[in-house]
Structure 1
Amino acid sequence: MFEIRVICTPDDADRVGTALAAAFATSPARQYPTRDGKRIRLYFTADHRSIGTNPTHTESE
């Protein structure tokens, strides 16, 4: 298990969360504003998906 931190604009938060959830088994994002107040920090607890639950994984990887 590991943690992913992403800094992005609030408008991109849903797209980032969707993309990470497609690649990893993730928890719901914890959101905090950046110091400048213009962006947000997203924290996800994540884990690798097994071969059976990762539709983009191929045996050759």
Structure 2
Amino acid sequence: MFEIRVICPPDDADRIGAALTAAFNTGPARQYPTRDGKRTRLYFTADHRDSSTTPTHTESE
């Protein structure tokens, strides 16, 4: 298990959360404003997905 921290514009928080949830098993995001109040800090507790449920990416020839 590990933690992911993302600093982003507030309008991107939902899109980033959805992308991380699709890539990893995540808990709910914890959101806090940055010190300057212009961006959002997102914290996710995450774990790698089981390889049996994650599609294998192969390089095209």
TM-score w.r.t. length of structure 1: 0.88
Identity of aligned residues (%): 78
| Superposition deviation, residue 59 in structure 1 | 7.3
| Superposition deviation, residue 34 in structure 1 | 0.1
Q: Which amino acid letter does the alignment assign opposite residue 26 of structure 2?
A: T
Stretches (4+) displaced over 6 A: none
Q: Give the unaligned 5+ runs of structure 2.
A: none
The 5 A counterparts of 1:10-49 are: 10-49=10-49
Q: Give the unaligned 5+ runs of structure 1.
A: none
Q: For this pair of structures, how many residues does the alignment match?
A: 58
| Superposition deviation, residue 51 in structure 1 | 1.2
Cα distance in structure 2, aligned partners of 1:59 and 1:15:
22
Q: CA RMSD in A?
A: 1.3
TM-score w.r.t. length of structure 2: 0.88
Pair 59,32 (structure 1): closer, same or farther in 2 beyond 3 Å = closer
Cα distance in structure 1, aligned partners of 2:33 and 2:57:
40
Cα distance in structure 2, aligned partners of 1:36 and 1:59:
40
Whether 1:4 and 2:4 are equivalent positions in the alignment is yes
Pair 49,38 (structure 1): closer, same or farther in 2 beyond 3 Å = same
